[in-house]
Structure 1
């Protein structure tokens, strides 16, 4: 009996998706289940499977590039599904051929998909275990000599240990996950690109199979986790990469500074912990806030492209200095050790000042949360900064603040498609208030406590009607690191 071994493309840590493409001995998928499934097509019809990861992006296998023109989504029956043209194909930059790995490709759609549930992507730390029961799905043929089917089919598969997988197949690329069918299950070329789904999370992507006189198991999906991380890294390494894989929902972000949209001027005497991070020319680069008399907390990505050399404290108006203003040079910077780029999370940095700030007279520290502190959905908090007040605008001289509601993390993740770990969502989305480019690193303040650090929004868009929520780093998850770093 042939076993199906699926090598799963690891999108951001082993994403096991529940999608079965080209499934022999599978079952018809009921309406309302696996709504993210997509048929990737050319002018001749179905070519590969895929799955919706944001309103306007589909993830599939890079080797499915066969003059693709459109996708069909929104219905498991291809005769009645919605047809959307493909605007752009973005292959993983390291892809060469299917056996070399990195078999991933994003398809940007000409128009956004409406009212269609997107696939849930795994967290960076998610792992699948041997014997976990997962699913694959697709419209591929159900026998070797038939053509693609009209109705979506799915089948159960179980994860197998990678060591055992390599014993049966010596040609595995790096970063793969293997699974085997519970019965005599096969999948075919027209199923590639579909997801491997575990616990309602897409953890892998069907890449290839191998038959050798029924001796070796079918090999079929490539691990998705590490590859997703690579995609994020590529996009976050430069603005020119904004069209690369990081365009994947959460990958479509990067905010350097919190443009306060629809906010108000901060009165003197309030928010006296606010800090302006400035470059050698005295230009505002990012926000931050004083957490002790000689440490400022900010976002790690504030140093990705710019180089702040000093902080300004006690001045809400950066052009009209008052007697309370203090300008202090930065002595050392301490990025969180796990930080790679904004899309990976851990977007925190401590700045040690060359001399201690003089507290009082317009300069104060802000309270940090306890390790166990949690914010609740709909809590009303504040975010402040000197960033622009509209998309494409310039930074402002006067400190601005706006009230934003906390957004449920499940809702936020669903809207983004995927998020880094340890984040809080607030503002944007259904409100017209939030941040944007100009002041990343500023605080999210709830009940006079700094609970978050401004990290990113999507595509530098600050017109928040029908946009995804703003994303902040959850400080409570890093309190131990902050205190240890400052004490050492």
Structure 2
């Protein structure tokens, strides 16, 4: 009989495999040793998650959506994943214009902690020139460790297959929505459909990486596979690598910057993961309907908003444990205006899972997962991105907090979702002001500013670089007049990812 720990790991692995949008090579063959030595297996805690390829001695390029799989390291130098060299990921830099459904600008650079020693077993791949064009019917190659069939497991040895380039006009007829800057290749009855584990791998034509596998279909119908056209992103790739390399030797920034310097600073902030996407709570602004589509309104039996939350999987919303006292029975997704919630999705709560260590809001561990009685769907609904282990936020980083709570002390909840920018406050300062704080928290907003969260915003997210880093927990005395008040306190989500994933996998 399987031990409980083995069952837990198995279910956890199953959950992670179901969240990957990547793929094996069907109708392919094993790659001989000495060929395609630029291939990288992008791995998380449970193993292979996506493909990738080495573009410099410190950077691997993969698909932007692979960030959702929380990559921790890459394996290089051997086509068998059992024997490759492991390199820890130091930073992840996703293209700032990345979008979901369908994927657009689907690129992610992984900066490795240590340099790769290039040689016989590991080399970089050649990137295209800006004017390089592939033509319909050109024969190219795609390689990866992905599954050979829907629901299958990733393979041990690297596989490769030939695919034919398909002209964009034909491709658009078969895909209802096709992003800009893409290349289509495959799919004929004898050419493969890509599944979990191959996404992020290169489309190679004449030993040059012209594309990056972005998405395919798991359905039986035959449609082309879609690749990012790398030639359209050469400037972003090269400048991001250059700025990340040179950060430590260039510390002075002129106050009066020229346009070129402004671009350099923008790229530098991207490298350091300090940029913010999203919008406003107290002194905030209304969030556009196409932003922050992971937001959830927790409502009671009377249909009144009681707390915020964020969608973390198709059937789970993450919120604060103290929101249990407000007795939520349903959530509203996909509508920022609660007066028009009929335009969104109202889904009943099936089960509630408070963190086992929670015993009071001021004692920490203030997290709760809500299992919905049915899966959420498209139509303005997206899951939020989780932080990676190597993601670190620092004092003065600019982030956002959002919710439907009051805009002032003793105020009433608002109908339209609002968000505001807040700065991270270092823990030492935060503890000095509060006197006592629980472990695993982040402080941001309030404290010598006029911005922060208020009552009704509990359970909502603190978002940095389009990534969930915190959950609204508490302020002091319910006071939302923040100029002379203590910092706002959030739960540090990165410290609870294992609990979150295991709870979801087992339920």
Between structure 1 and structure 2, the one with the greater Rg is 1
Structure with the higher fraction of residues in helix conformation: 2
Give the TM-score normalised by the residue count of structure 1.
0.46
Give the TM-score normalised by the residue count of structure 2.
0.44
